[in-house]
Amino acid sequence: MITSFCKSMCDFSFRGRSTKREFLCFLALSVLISLMFLTVILFIAVTVLGLKFSSENGLILPHCNLNPFGLVCFIVMCLLFSFYVMFTVWSFVSGSLLAIRRLHDMNYSGVCYWVWISAILLFFVSETSILTLFLGYFVISGVLILAFSNSFPCENKYGKVDIEELSMQITKQNG
């Protein structure tokens, strides 16, 4: 699972095919690593630096004197946040290329991915709640389709079929 994730993070090609297992491993580990980053950052912010949430102002950092320990924790939190942003950008780029290869594995063009990305962008700038719900449904269903659809069983114009993936599909179908 980890080797598949590392391979996906370092494969900056949109040519070829990607299996369902590779996509699921990438998705699961990306979410897990992001949650770990955010948990540590929020732990430092809340417990050490005293960050509080106000319903009126959102997140606020109360005025406090930072002792040397607090200053070191603040620097560590800023570094972790910087690494988190770099990880997020890197995983978005490599995840986009992986999604295109996954579409190739299902015998679809990578253009479908860019339609999906435009829906994500519309989701973030949408002001209408009905449109937001529809676009949210569209985005989530797109991830689920990529994650759980079977591979195209034959060789296609994007490459050869992964024999391991094909044998798993046949075993599932036969029970």
At 35-46, the pLDDT tens digits run 999 999 888 888
In a 10 Å sphere around its CB, with 0-12 CB exposed, 13-18 middle and 19+ buried, how is residue 174 labelled?
Answer: exposed
What average pLDDT does range 134-150 have in this prediction?
82
**Residue 92 domain flag:** yes
- Report whether 77 contacts 70 (CB < 8 A): no
Q: State the Cα–Cα distance between residues 98 and 19, nearest whole angstrom.
A: 9
Question: What 8-state DSSP symbol labels residue 108?
Answer: -
Q: How confident is the model at residue 53 (pLDDT cuts 50, 70, 90)?
A: low
**Residue 82 domain flag:** yes
The tally of domains found in the chain comes to 1
**Residue 172 domain flag:** no
**Residue 171 domain flag:** no
Pairwise pLDDT comparison (3 vs 91), residue with the higher score: 91
Give the highest mean pLDDT range of 21-25, 50-54, 83-87.
83-87
The reported pLDDT for the residue numbered 32 is 94
Q: How confident is the model at residue 33 (pLDDT cuts 50, 70, 90)?
A: very high
pLDDT value at 149 more than 70: yes
What average pLDDT does range 29-34 have in this prediction?
93
**Residue 174 domain flag:** no
Q: State the Cα–Cα distance between residues 126 and 118, nearest whole angstrom.
A: 12
Tell me which residue range forms the domain holding 146.
Answer: 2-166
What average pLDDT does range 66-83 have in this prediction?
84
**Residue 43 domain flag:** yes
**Residue 8 domain flag:** yes
